[in-house]
Structure 1
Amino acid sequence: MALPALAQQAGNTDQPPANQAQSAKPKAKDSTTTLDKVEVVGIRRSIATSVETKNESASIVEAVSSEDIGKLPDISIADAISRLPGLTMQRVDGHGQVIHIRGMSEQFAGTLLNGREQVSTGDSRGVEFDQYPAELINSVTVYKTPDASLVGQGLSGTVNMQTVRPLDVQGRKIVVSGQGERNSFGNITPGGHDSGYRMSASYIDQFANNTIGVAIGVARLNAPFQEKHYKSWWWANTTLWGAPQGAKPDNAIALQGAEAWVKSRDSNRDGVMAVLEFKPNDSWHSVLDAYHSKFSQSEWMRGAMWTNDPWWNNGAVTYTSANTTNYNGTPVVTSGTLSGIQPVIRNDNNLRDDSLSAFGWNNEFKTGAFTFAADLSYSRAIRDQSTLETYAGMLGGLNVDFNIPLTPGYAHYGLPDLSSPTTVYLRDAQGWGHDGRMEDSRQVDTLKAFRLSMNQALDNNFISSYDIGYNYSRRSKNKQASVYFADLPGRTPMLVDPSLLQSPTDLGFAGMGKVLTYDPRALLSRYYHVYLSETNDDLQKDYGILEDIGTFYAKANIDTSLGSNVQLRGNIGFQYIHTNQKSNGVGITPTGPADVNGVGASYNDVLPSLNLVFDFNNGWNLRFGAAKEQMRPRINDMGAYANVGVNVGNGVAQWSGSGGNPRLEPFRANSVDLSVEKYFGPASYVALAAFYKDLQSYVYTSTIPWDFTGYEFDTPVPPQSNIGTFSTPANGKGGYMRGAEFSLALEGALLHRVLNGFGMLANVSYTESSIDPDGPGGSSTDTIPGLSKIVANATVYYERNGFSARLSERFRDPYRGEYSYIFGQRSYRYTRNERTLDMQIGYDFADASRLRGLSLLFQINNLNNEPFRTTVSDSNGLGLFFPEEYTEYGRQYLIGARYSF
C-alpha cells in the first residue's frame, strides 16, 4: 500500500512519479496517456510495455515485449513465454520447445501469429516454439480468458506472437547481431559439435511521407546440444510370477533392464520475416506479412542397453550375487553381479528437416463510424524425418558387477571394453529379429483461412462499439511413414572394417566404459540388406485429417462510468462454430489392409464470453471473466486407422475393433476468472488471480458403439448390423481445473533511491484438477499431462548507465509429461520437479560514445546443469516409485554483440 508514496520520495530516479504512472491508464473515453511516453530502454522497456499491455487489455492476459527491435528478453520464444505467471515449459532434448498453460499440456493451447492460427510441425496441434526465432518476434500476448473476436483460441489459453509493424517505428532502424555458443560438455561423440553461433539482422524503414513501411528480418541459428543419459527400464519381483532370478532374494524387487547413451545433435535454423505496410490515409490500412523458417537437425546417439529379465533368451541372465537395500519397507537389489547379459551397442543417426511458412494479408477500410476488415492467411508446416538404428555386441554372455542408486543419478556397471574392433560384432545382440531398423516419415500440415469483420463505433454511454465477423478455415494434416529392416547377409555377425570406425564413445559417466563407434549410414549400403517391413501398427501411421471450420462472432465493447470513481470497460459476445471433419486411414482386416476414407463428423458449438474490467482510477483494477470454451481434440487421435474384425458367438456375428476416432468431438469447458491488480510506476504492478474451469468433456480411451459402415471384407458369417463395439479415444466425463496465481513486477527505486536500477519479477501459481486422464476408475496416481501443482519464476535484475545483469530461476513441481517414444509413439512419464537458472550480463555503449549503438552480451543458460529426471512405478502394483531416467544437458554459454543504427 505504501509503495506509491515511496515512489514520490525517490525524486532523483529516472522513473516518473507514481501519480504520473497511474495517469497512464485509461480514465475516460477521451483522455488516455499510455506508458510508451516513458523513455526507458532494455529490460525496463520490455517490462513497461508488457505491463501496459496487461493493464489496458479487456481480457486477463500476460505479455512479453522486446527490449528493442529483434531483442526479446530471452534467447528463445519458449524461454520468454515460460516465465509468465501460470505458464511453464517442458524441456525436450534439453531446450524449451512446448508451453504448458495453467497446468495443461501444449495440446490445450491455441497458438497464433499476428492473430492467425498456426499449424504445427509436431504430430498434433501443440506448436513447437523452437521453429520461431526470438529475434524475429516483437511481442507475445497470452490470453487467459477468451475474447469473442479472437479466432483459434485454446482451452488453457491462447498465445499470440506478433511481428513488428514498421509504421509504428520512428525512422529507419537497422540492427545486426551475432553470438557464439558453446556447450560445457564439449564434443562427447564423433559427428556432433560442441560450439555454434547465432546471427540476425533487421531492417525497418518508412517511405512516401510515412505511408509505406517495410520491415525485413533474417535469423540464422547453428546450435549444439549434448546429452548424457541413463535410464532404468522396469522394476519387479519376478519370483512372485514364478520366475526366480538366481541369487536374488525371493522377496526382493530388482531392475530388469537398463540403458545409457550420449547424444550430440546439431540444429540449424534459417528464418526470415517480412512486413509491407501501406496506410495512404486514415481510411485504408493494408498489411502484408510473411514468415518462413527452415529447420534441420542431425543427431548422433551411441550407447549400450540390455534386458535382464528371467524370460529373455530362455533365462540366460541370472544373479550370482545380490545385495539389497530397504526401500519403503521392501528389499530392493542395488548391487551384486549379473551373469549372462548381452548388451546391445547402439549407433543411431536421426535426421529431421522442417519447413514452416505463414503468410497473411490484412486490409482495413474506415468510413465514418464503420471499420471493415478483410484478412487472408496461409500457414504450412512440413516435416521430413528419418531415424536409423543399428546394433552391435560381443559374442556370448557377460558377468557384470553393478551398483544402482535408489535416488536420481547415474548407476555403475562394470562392463568390459565394448569398443574393441576384434571382439565387438555387428549383430542382433538382444534378439529383436533384425540387425537394424530405419523409419522414414513425412508430415504436411496446411491451413488456409479468410476472415471478414466489421466494427461500428457508437455514441453510447455504455456500449462504445460492436464487432461482427466471420472466419472460415480449412486445415489438412497428412502423415506417411515407411519402416525398413536392415539385415546382415545370412544374419551372421560381422566385424567392422577398422577404417570405418571412429573414436570410441565414452559412457564412463554411467560406469559403462567405451563403446564401438561408427557412422551407421556409411555402413548401411556396405554391410546390410535393407527391405520394407511394416507391421499392422506401422501401416496405421499413415492417415489424413481434413477440418472445415466456420466461425461467426459478435461482440459488444463496453466503456462506461459507474459513478465518479469507477470506469467499467470490457466486452460481451459469442462465437458460433460449425465444424465438419473427415479422416482417411488404413483399416487392418482379416483379409488384409484396406483403405478407410471419408469417415468423420459434423457438429456446432456456441461459445459465449464476458470480460469486465472495473478501473478504480488509482491503479486498482478488478477483472472478471466468464466463458464457455472448447479445444479441438488431438489430431493423431482423429485418424481413421483401425484394427477391425468380426466376432462370432452362438452363430451371431458382430463387428469389433480398435483405433483412432474420426468422429471425436472437442474438449469443452465452462470457465470463470477473477483478477485483482494494482499498478504503480511504469514497470511495476502486483496481481492476484484465480480461475476455475469445469470441463464438461474430456477424451479417454473407451469402448463405445461404432458404425462400421465402410469397413467391408469377406467373413463366413456376415454381421446383421453395421453397429459394433470399438476401443478408441472418446468423449467422456470431465472434471475441474482450478488454481490461483500471484505475480509481481517491482522497480527498486520505488522502495528507496539507492535501489535505483534494481528490480525484480516474481510469480507463483498453484493448480489442481479432479480429472483422471485414464477415465473414471483409472489410476489414482495419474494426472492430466502437463499439470504441475506449483510453478514459480523469479528474475532479479540491475540496469543502469549502460550496464545490465539479470539472474532468472524457473521452478515447476513434478508432472506427467508427454514425450515421443520408440517407433514414433507417444508416452506419458512421471517427470520430477525442475529448477533451472539462467544468467545474463550486458553492456550498452552510451550515445556520447564512439561506439554508440553497440551492445555486448554474455549469457549462461542452465547455469546449474539441472538434470531431467523421471520416475517409474513398480510392476507388482505395490505403489512404489523408482528412479527411471536421469539425463544431463550441460551448460550453454553464449557471448556476442549487437549493433543498432
Structure 2
Amino acid sequence: MQHSNHTAGIAPRAPRRVLRKQHLAMACCLALALPMAAQAQQAAQASSSDQTVETLDTVKVTGIRAAIATAVETKSESTSIVEAISAEDIGKLPDISIADSISRLPGLATQRIDGRSQVINIRGMSEQFAGTLLNGREQVSTGDSRGVEFDQYPAELINAVTVYKTPDAALIGQGLSGTVDLQTIRPLSLSERRIVFSGQYEANSFGKLSQDGNDKGYRASASYVDQFANDTVGIALGVARINSPFQEKHYKAWWWADMDAVDWGDPAQPGRPANAIALQGSEGWIKSRELTRDGVMGVFEFKPNDSFHSILDVYYSKFDQDEVMHGAMWSNDPWAPGGGVSYSNATTTDYQGYPVVTSGTLNGVRPVIRNDSNVREDKLFSAGWNNTFEFGEIYTLKTDLSYSRAEREQSALELYAGRLGGQSIDFSIRPVSGFNHYGLPDMADPNAVYLWDPQNWGHDGRLEDSFQKDVIKAGRVELNRTVESDFLRSFDVGFNYNRRTKEKVATVFFADLPDGRTPTLVDASLLYSPTSLGFVGMGDILSFNPRDLVNRYYDVYVSESNDDLRKDFIVEETVRTFYAKANLDMDVTDTVRLRGNAGFQYIRTDQQSTGFNANNSTVVGAQTLGASYGDILPSLNLVLDFGDGWMVRFGAAKTLVRPPINYLSADSSASVSTIAPFVWSGSGGNPTLEPYRANSYDLSFERYFGEGNYVSLAAFHKSLETYIYRKNFPNWDFSAYDPDGQTPISDFGNYSTWANGSGGYMRGLELSGAITGDTFHESLDGFGALLNVSYTESSIDPDGPENGASTDTIPGLSKIVANATVYYEKHGFSARLSQRYRDAYRGEYSSLFGQRQIRFTKSERTMDMQVGYEFPDTSALSGLSVLLQVNNLTNEPFRTEVSESTGTGLLFPEEYTEYGRQYMLGFRYKL
C-alpha cells in the first residue's frame, strides 16, 4: 500500500483564509532572527501598504525552487512529522545519489563507505534502526543485515523521497529512528507526454592510480511518460546506467601501545625508547573501483473512473563492482615474524603528556606486498500491484501485493609477495591524522620480490566466495470508511502479511605455493607497471592481477575457521500486522484547526534460523531455533493549524525495529581449552532475540510563508525500553556439544551471544528552514537557501549494563549534524553550493574477512557544487540543459581513531583515506 502523506480518507478542505504579503515577510524575519535592517524594511512595507486582506498571486516556478516548494508542501500537508525531497523534473533529484540528497535533510546524516554515500543515519542511530520503503513497501537489503544501501537505487529513476520521523498506524515497515520512503513517478499525475534523455561524463581528480584502474566513466538515462485513452491509462518507463570510477589513497596505523606499561611477556625490542608509545604496524594502498549499475523502472497506471484505480510498478537493477588493490603492510610489534623487530635512531615527541616514537628506523621488518581483486554482483528486483476500489461513496478498499528480492555474489582474492628476510624501514610519523611517511627498499624489482608469505599468516593467498539472497513476499488489504462527524473524518482498518527469508553462504579457500616455492615474476607479461605509494613515501610496489596468477602458481583448497563456518545461515520471518486508525479533522475555534490521526498496530512475529554448530573448524551439525512474540504499537499524530502558516505538531508512538538479521543466525561455536583447567567456552548468534522497542515523543513548531519558505524547530525524545548487546553467560550448559577428544572439567562454561537488555534515551533538537531571496527584496529574486542543524544526545551504553560504565556512544550518533545549501536560479542559469557536516561518531563498517566492526570516525565536512544552464523556449536549443557537478569539492578525507592499548585513555589516528573529487559534465534534453 502506498502512503505519500498518510492522510487517506481525509477530504481536503477549501482554504478558509488568505495571507498578507507583509505579514509573511514580518514572520519570516522574526522566525529566522534576520538582521535588523531586513526587519526595518519589512516593517516599513507593512506601514505603507494597504491592510486589506489579499490573495497571493500564483507564480509558476520550475527547477530548484519548484522542487523545494513541492517538498515544503509535502511537509506542511502531512499529518506526521516528515522531511521530503522532490525531483526538479522527471529523473532529476538534486544530487548525484539518493543518499546524498537524503543526508541533507534535518537530523539525517550519511555514512561514507568506499568513498561514496551509501547508508543513512537518522537522528543519531545507525542504518539498522531505519525502515526503507519503495512506494510504501518494505525493501530487502544487499548487505548481511537490514540496512539498505541506497546506491542500489538510481537517482534518475526516483521522483521523490519522504522521511517519516513519526509513524502512524498505517505505515508498514516502519523503523525505530525513522522511515525512508522512495517514490517513483505516477504517469497520470502529469498532464502530458514527457520524454527525457540525459548523459554525463565522469572523472576522478586522482587520475589513474594503477595500470588496471580506471578514472573515467559515464552516466546515461532515459525516461518516457505518457497518457492514453482520455487520461485513463498511464505508462512510465525509465532506464539508467552508470559506469563510475572511484579512486582511493589509503593509510592505516594498526595499533599503538607502550610496551613497557604492562607485562606483555617479553616485549623487549632493542633501540625502542623505554616507556614510550609506539605504532605497532602500518599499511598503505591504492584502490580503484569501477562501478557499473543498470537500472530499469516501469509503471502502469489505470484509472477508468473515480471508483477504480490500479497501479503496477516494477524496478530492477544490476550492480557490478570491480575493485583492485595494490598495497604494502607490516607488523613491527615484538611478536612480528622473523625473530623480532629492532629500532635505531628512534626519537620521541610529547603528545598530551606522553612520549610517542615519531621517527627513526625499523630493522628486521618483513613487509608484505598485497595484490587484491574484489568482484561483486548485486541484483535487486521489486514489484508491486496496488488497487483502490471506491464504492457506496463512503467506502474505499485498497489491496496491495508486492515482491522484493536481492541477491549478492562476491569473490575476494588476495595474494602476497615480498623480499626475502628482514628489511629496514625509515619512518617519520605524527600522532595526528594524515599520511605518514616510510622509506622502504625497492618493492617493485621482480628479481628481488618473491611470491610468498612474509608475515607468516599461514598461507600464500586467500579467497572468499559468498552468496546471499534476501526475499520479501507481502500482501495487504485496507478498508477506509468516511464518517460524518465534527471531529472524525474517516477511519482505516487493515492487515499486512510479510514473509522474509534471508540466506547467506560463504566459502573460504587458502592458496599455497607447491613445495614451498617462492617464485619471482620475471615474466613481464604477468606484471603491470609498478604502482606508486609515494603519497606515504613507500615508493613503487610490484603489481599484478592475482586472478591471472592463482591458477598458474598456486594450490587452492578449502580452509575454514569456526568464524568462517558460522557465516552460513538462513533466517526466516513471518510478520502479521493488524492495524486501525482514526483520521481526525475538526475546527477547534474559528481560527484554529486540528487534524491528525490516532491508531494502533498489533504485530505478531514468528522467526527462526538455521545455522552451523562448529568445533575446531569442523561442522558438528546444524541447528534450527526460533521465537514468537507480539507487540501492540499505539500512535498519535496531531497538527494544530493556527492559520497564516503557523502550525504545531505533536507525535507520540511506541515503535520497534527487529534485530539485525545476522544477529539472529543460529550459528554457534564451542570447544574445550587444550590446557588446564580444560573448560568450555563458545559464542554464537541468537535466533530468540526480540526487537529494539522504544516510546517516542515529538514536538514541532513550524511557520510557512510564501512559496517554498518555512522555518521549523522540533524536539524529540525516544526512550528505548530494550537494547541488544553482546552478553556473556558464565554458566552455559555445553553438554549437547562434542568436546572433540578433550575431557572438560565440567559441562558448564562461558558462552557469548547477543541478548536483549535495558536501553536508555535518545533526544535532540532540530532547527531547519528554507528561504527565498525575494522574501527580503525583489532584487534578490532567484537566490535562496536551505539550512538545518540538529543536536542529539543519548544515555545508551552499547556495550551493555554488565560491562560497567562506558564512554562509548551508540553507533551512528553524531551530536551535531548540519547542512547548508545556497542557490541561484534565474533566466535559465542555476548554481548550487551544498555543504554537509557531521560530528565525530562511532560507525559500523565491514572489517577483516567480512566481519562487522565499530570504529571511531572523526568529523566530516563535505562540499558539493552544481552549475547549469537551461536554454529558453525561444531558443533553437529549447529543451536542452547542460550541467557541471563536482562532488567532494574539497577532497574531504575519511578519518578514524583507535584507543591506545595500554590504558592511557588517548585516541590515536588510525585510518586516513582520500577519495579525490568526482567531476561530472553532462546534458539533459526533454521533449
TM class by smaller structure: over 0.9
2:854 is paired with a residue whose SS is strand
Q: Contact 2:338/2:364 (CA < 8 Å) preserved in 1?
A: no
**Residues 460-502 of structure 1: CA deviation (Å, up to 9, x unaligned):** 1101000110000100000000000111111221101222111
Report the AA paired with residue 93 of structure 2.
Answer: L
2:301 is paired with a residue whose SS is strand
1:54 is paired with a residue whose SS is helix
* Partner in structure 2 of residue 234 of structure 1: 255
Match of 1:808 among 834, 842, 846: 834
Give 1:726 shift. 3.5
**Residues 309-328 of structure 1: CA deviation (Å, up to 9, x unaligned):** 01122642111221000011
Q: Contact 2:238/2:296 (CA < 8 Å) preserved in 1?
A: yes
Give 1:250 shift. 1.1
Give 1:739 shift. 0.3
For residues 487 and 782 of structure 2, the distance between their equivalents in structure 1, rounded to whole angstroms, comes to 42
CA gap 1:437/1:591 in 2 versus in 1, 3 angstroms: closer
Equivalences for residues 783-798 of structure 1 within 5 A: 783-798=809-824
Match of 1:72 among 93, 106, 119: 93
For residues 490 and 427 of structure 1, the distance between their equivalents in structure 2, rounded to whole angstroms, comes to 12
Q: Contact 1:485/1:531 (CA < 8 Å) preserved in 2?
A: yes
CA gap 1:172/1:719 in 2 versus in 1, 3 angstroms: same
For residues 266 and 20 of structure 1, the distance between their equivalents in structure 2, rounded to whole angstroms, comes to 62
Q: Contact 2:255/2:280 (CA < 8 Å) preserved in 1?
A: yes
For residues 374 and 421 of structure 1, the distance between their equivalents in structure 2, rounded to whole angstroms, comes to 67
Q: Which blocks of at least 5 consecutive residues in structure 1 are unaligned?
A: 11-16, 25-34
1:230 is paired with a residue whose SS is strand
Match of 2:360 among 336, 345, 365: 336
* Partner in structure 1 of residue 188 of structure 2: 167
Equivalences for residues 103-252 of structure 1 within 5 A: 103-240=124-261, 241=263, 242-252=266-276
1:313 is paired with a residue whose SS is coil
1:734 is paired with a residue whose SS is strand
Give 1:711 shift. 4.8
Q: Contact 1:235/1:254 (CA < 8 Å) preserved in 2?
A: yes
2:799 is paired with a residue whose SS is coil
1:541 aligns with 2:562: no
Report the AA paired with residue 144 of structure 2.
Answer: D
* Partner in structure 2 of residue 635 of structure 1: 661
1:97 aligns with 2:118: yes
For residues 164 and 702 of structure 1, the distance between their equivalents in structure 2, rounded to whole angstroms, comes to 47
For residues 303 and 749 of structure 2, the distance between their equivalents in structure 1, rounded to whole angstroms, comes to 61
Q: Contact 1:90/1:100 (CA < 8 Å) preserved in 2?
A: yes
Report the AA paired with residue 122 of structure 1.
Answer: G
2:260 is paired with a residue whose SS is helix
Range 777-786 or range 65-74, more displaced: 777-786
Match of 1:755 among 771, 774, 780: 780
* Partner in structure 2 of residue 46 of structure 1: 67
Q: Contact 2:333/2:340 (CA < 8 Å) preserved in 1?
A: no
Equivalences for residues 117-516 of structure 1 within 5 A: 117-240=138-261, 241=263, 242-313=266-337, 315-367=339-391, 368-496=393-521, 497-516=523-542
Give 1:384 shift. 0.2
Q: Contact 1:377/1:449 (CA < 8 Å) preserved in 2?
A: yes
2:381 is paired with a residue whose SS is strand
For residues 752 and 435 of structure 1, the distance between their equivalents in structure 2, rounded to whole angstroms, comes to 70
Range 82-91 or range 707-716, more displaced: 707-716
For residues 424 and 144 of structure 1, the distance between their equivalents in structure 2, rounded to whole angstroms, comes to 57
1:833 aligns with 2:850: no
* Partner in structure 2 of residue 32 of structure 1: none
**Residues 658-717 of structure 1: CA deviation (Å, up to 9, x unaligned):** 200000110000010000000011111000000000000000111349997995658999
* Partner in structure 1 of residue 601 of structure 2: 575
Report the AA paired with residue 446 of structure 1.
Answer: V
**Residues 406-460 of structure 1: CA deviation (Å, up to 9, x unaligned):** 2111111111211011111111011101000000000000000000101011111
For residues 823 and 611 of structure 2, the distance between their equivalents in structure 1, rounded to whole angstroms, comes to 54
**Residues 525-571 of structure 1: CA deviation (Å, up to 9, x unaligned):** 11111111111111111000000000001000010011111000000
2:102 is paired with a residue whose SS is helix
CA gap 1:394/1:46 in 2 versus in 1, 3 angstroms: same
Q: Contact 2:560/2:617 (CA < 8 Å) preserved in 1?
A: no
CA gap 1:22/1:524 in 2 versus in 1, 3 angstroms: farther
1:596 aligns with 2:637: no
For residues 109 and 739 of structure 2, the distance between their equivalents in structure 1, rounded to whole angstroms, comes to 52
For residues 21 and 828 of structure 1, the distance between their equivalents in structure 2, rounded to whole angstroms, comes to 58
**Residues 231-279 of structure 1: CA deviation (Å, up to 9, x unaligned):** 0000001123341222122110100000000000100000000000000
**Residues 604-631 of structure 1: CA deviation (Å, up to 9, x unaligned):** 0000000000000111000000010101
**Residues 51-79 of structure 1: CA deviation (Å, up to 9, x unaligned):** 00000000000000000001001110000
CA gap 1:712/1:252 in 2 versus in 1, 3 angstroms: closer
Report the AA paired with residue 74 of structure 1.
Answer: D
Report the AA paired with residue 281 of structure 2.
Answer: G
Give 1:719 shift. 12
* Partner in structure 1 of residue 797 of structure 2: 772
Question: Pairwise CA RMSD of aligned residues?
Answer: 2.6
1:239 is paired with a residue whose SS is coil
Give 1:168 shift. 0.2
* Partner in structure 1 of residue 640 of structure 2: 614
Give 1:594 shift. 3.1
Q: Contact 2:281/2:333 (CA < 8 Å) preserved in 1?
A: yes
* Partner in structure 2 of residue 29 of structure 1: none
For residues 650 and 192 of structure 1, the distance between their equivalents in structure 2, rounded to whole angstroms, comes to 53
Give 1:724 shift. 8.1
2:156 is paired with a residue whose SS is helix
CA gap 1:438/1:38 in 2 versus in 1, 3 angstroms: farther
Give 1:817 shift. 0.5
Report the AA paired with residue 332 of structure 2.
Answer: N
1:733 is paired with a residue whose SS is strand
CA gap 1:259/1:745 in 2 versus in 1, 3 angstroms: same
* TM-score (norm. length: structure 1): 0.95
1:538 is paired with a residue whose SS is helix
Give 1:399 shift. 1.4
For residues 405 and 237 of structure 2, the distance between their equivalents in structure 1, rounded to whole angstroms, comes to 20
1:851 aligns with 2:872: no
* Partner in structure 1 of residue 4 of structure 2: none
1:864 aligns with 2:885: no
Report the AA paired with residue 863 of structure 1.
Answer: L
**Residues 317-349 of structure 1: CA deviation (Å, up to 9, x unaligned):** 111221000011000000011111111000000
2:756 is paired with a residue whose SS is strand
Count matched residues: 883
Report the AA paired with residue 237 of structure 1.
Answer: D
**Residues 261-303 of structure 1: CA deviation (Å, up to 9, x unaligned):** 0000100000000000000111110000000000000001001
For residues 117 and 44 of structure 1, the distance between their equivalents in structure 2, rounded to whole angstroms, comes to 31
* TM-score (norm. length: structure 2): 0.92
Q: Identity, % of aligned pairs?
A: 61
Report the AA paired with residue 339 of structure 1.
Answer: N
CA gap 1:686/1:23 in 2 versus in 1, 3 angstroms: farther
CA gap 1:171/1:449 in 2 versus in 1, 3 angstroms: same
CA gap 1:577/1:891 in 2 versus in 1, 3 angstroms: same
CA gap 1:646/1:533 in 2 versus in 1, 3 angstroms: closer
Report the AA paired with residue 452 of structure 1.
Answer: V
For residues 66 and 871 of structure 1, the distance between their equivalents in structure 2, rounded to whole angstroms, comes to 38
Report the AA paired with residue 283 of structure 2.
Answer: E
CA gap 1:23/1:728 in 2 versus in 1, 3 angstroms: farther
* Partner in structure 2 of residue 698 of structure 1: 723
